[in-house]
Amino acid sequence: MSYYLEFLALIWFFVCWGGYTWYSRNRANSRSCLSNTLDLYREDWMRVMLKRENRISDASVVGNLERNGAFFASSCLLILAGIITALGYTSEAMEIFATMPFSAVPSREIWELRLVVLLVVFIYAFFKFTWSMRMYNFVAVMIGSAPLPDDSKTSPAAREAFARSAGNICNLAGDAFNLGLRSYYYALAVVAWFIHPVAFMAASTLVVYVLYRREFHSDALSALRDGKVFEEAIPARADADVKSKN
């Protein structure tokens, strides 16, 4: 019976992770959230960048964003090394864990399964952070190749197309970073699995609730929305996404 509870908790974890990822992406097409609000700011950033002759500040901001991804990617490697080490010392780790209060020591197979799931979460996070870093590199290259304000050969339509393209790459980089950061939240839920499968399910649910509140109902979102006319911007963006897919 305990094995059924373990696997039920694991299935619930992946339902929470995959379900919220799907929900947040689709919900962003019809209402304001942190993700699509920041998308608008990034696109405006690229338009303003084209009006500046000196773009050192823009390159500096991109560099800072890239370093954020590098920090978390490096942290993932350190955590992965620790998890792999723990897999090599399963017996010793289980003995130490058995001395802790409120801990239910499972079988060796379940213990290793928990570590493997934690390993998979941080591998996923590592790939997301490194992909985000690479796309910020793309943005840096685009800023370096952007037409100057006094370039008469570049039409307004071409400038707008360039700004939208650079903004889209920047948005994709931000989305990848966001997905990597969410993985850290879900990893905390997996840590609760080492206490009890029910704690694992409760933690997975709590993580989804926290992510939902911050994405769709946070004070930060309200502050960001004050700088944008959102009611018209989001439906227009959703229509553009539908047309591009067709």
Q: For residues 94 and 57, what is the distance between their CA atoms, to the nearest angstrom? A: 51
Q: What percent of the chain has pLDDT over 90?
A: 71
Q: For residues 80 and 72, what is the distance between their CA atoms, to the nearest angstrom? A: 12
* Residues whose CB falls within 8 Å of the CB of residue 177, separated by 6 or more in sequence, listed in order: 65, 68, 69, 72, 128, 129, 132
| Tokens 């959703």 -> residue | 238
Q: What is the pLDDT of residue 134?
A: 96
Q: Which of 246, 243, 222, 244 is nearest to 32 (CA)?
A: 222
The CA radius of gyration of the chain, in Å to the nearest whole number, is: 22
Q: What is the pLDDT of residue 30?
A: 87
Per-residue confidence at 231, pLDDT binned at 50, 70, 90? very low
Q: Which of 80, 79, 110 is nearest to 94 (CA)?
A: 110
Q: Which of 184, 215, 207, 210 is nearest to 13 (CA)?
A: 207
C-alpha torsion angle, residues 84, 86, 91, 96 (rounded to 10): -170
**Where are the chain's structural domains?**
36-181
Q: Which of 133, 127, 17, 114 is nearest to 76 (CA)?
A: 127
Condensed to tens digits (0 to 9), the pLDDT of residues 182-202 reads: 999 999 999 999 888 999 999
Condensed to tens digits (0 to 9), the pLDDT of residues 27-72 reads: 988 888 999 999 999 999 999 999 999 999 999 999 999 999 999 9
Rounded mean pLDDT of the chain?
89
Condensed to tens digits (0 to 9), the pLDDT of residues 106-136 reads: 788 888 999 999 999 999 999 999 999 999 9
Q: For residues 108 and 114, what is the distance between their CA atoms, to the nearest angstrom? A: 10
Condensed to tens digits (0 to 9), the pLDDT of residues 194-223 reads: 888 999 999 999 999 999 999 999 999 998
In this structure, what token pair is assigned to residue 91? Answer: 């017996």
| Tokens 């903004």 -> residue | 167
26 burial (CB, 10 Å; 0-12 / 13-18 / 19+) is exposed
Q: What is the pLDDT of residue 128?
A: 98
Per-residue buried b or exposed e for 78-87, using 16+ beta carbons within 10 Å of the residue's own CB: ebbeebeebe
Condensed to tens digits (0 to 9), the pLDDT of residues 66-77 reads: 999 999 999 999
Query: Which amino acid would we find at residue 115?
Result: L
Q: What is the pLDDT of residue 243?
A: 45
Condensed to tens digits (0 to 9), the pLDDT of residues 132-187 reads: 999 999 999 999 999 999 888 889 999 999 999 999 999 999 999 999 999 999 99
Per-residue confidence at 229, pLDDT binned at 50, 70, 90? low
Q: What is the pLDDT of residue 244?
A: 45
